[in-house]
Amino acid sequence: MFLPYAVLFVFGLLIGSFLNVCIYRIPKGKSIVSPPSSCPKCNSQIKPIHNIPVLSYILLRGRCNFCGAKISPIYPAIELLNAVAYVMVAAKFGFNGQSALIMALMSVFIVVTFIDLEHKIIPDGITLPGIALGLLLGPLVLKISFVNSLLGVIVGGGLFFLIAVFSRGGMGGGDIKLIAMMGGFIGWKGVLLTIFLGSVFGASVGIGLMAIKGMHRKTPIPFGPFLVAGAVVAIFWGGSFLEWYGGLHY
Ligand SMILES: [Zn+2]
């Protein structure tokens, strides 16, 4: 049973390398397929041999081969994170179509998280197609009913829309579309659990930051990463939280 996981891990690293390209380019409105990656400092095109996930970073000691500019350790960290996520999904849900879709979701979550942390936005180019895909693939692959999938979109998006209206700017439009997208995949119970967990995580970190850094209560913290954390917990362990049966068949 070791080999399939090893292959999956390497596959996860390679996709993780592509996620880095997405995180870097999508907020800038650039194509994610061309041109090939280049050093942001000296613009030298990165050779395939210097583009091996994690390994190249270690061999080049975290520097550009041409100009010596420091490469952020976030790049190999994202590759590792994606690979670990894939292995965890396979360990939990097996090697099947459901797992493949959940892995794709995890990759989307990683991209959303790091774009939101860096730019404080969640691109519509990800969430709007994501809502449509959730309504299609939630029922088709994850085997929730279409009504449940639709309710997930409406309950998640609707709740956040109301919060946005009443909090006057406390909730961004990107968060509304993100939670609606999640709802399409995990249904209305999953979306409520995600909101609950995301709020608990967000409040905990917010209180922690206020205590440590003396941050002002109004200092905006991107909410997307907390929703992602909530959704990941809901997907992996939601069944036992809400006494759903049969893994994802809630
Ligand atoms: Zn360079």
The rounded Å distance from CA 122 to ligand 1 centre is 29
The rounded Å distance from CA 112 to ligand 1 centre is 27
The rounded Å distance from CA 191 to ligand 1 centre is 43
Q: Flag whether pLDDT at 243 surpasses 70.
A: no
Which residues are 203's β-sheet partners? none
The rounded Å distance from CA 43 to ligand 1 centre is 6
User: How many Cβ atoms sit within 10 Å of the Cβ of residue 67?
Assistant: 11
| Per-residue pLDDT at 122 | 96
Q: pTM for this one? A: 0.92
Helix (H, G, I), strand (E, B) or coil at 70: strand
Distance, in Å, from the CA atom of 230 to the CA atom of 184, rounded to the nearest integer, reads 15
Q: Flag whether pLDDT at 70 surpasses 80.
A: yes
Element at 84 (helix H, strand E): helix 74-93
The rounded Å distance from CA 44 to ligand 1 centre is 6
**Taking the C-alpha atoms of 156, 224, 163 and 208 in order, what is their torsion angle to the nearest 10 degrees?**
130
194 Cβ neighbours under 8 A, 6+ residues apart: 156, 179, 182, 186, 227, 230, 231, 234
Structure tokens at 106: 């995890």
pLDDT tens sequence across 71-80:
999 999 999 9
Distance of CA 72 to the CA centre of its chain: 19
Q: Flag whether pLDDT at 130 surpasses 70.
A: yes
| Per-residue pLDDT at 134 | 97
The rounded Å distance from CA 70 to ligand 1 centre is 8
Amino acid occupying residue 123: P
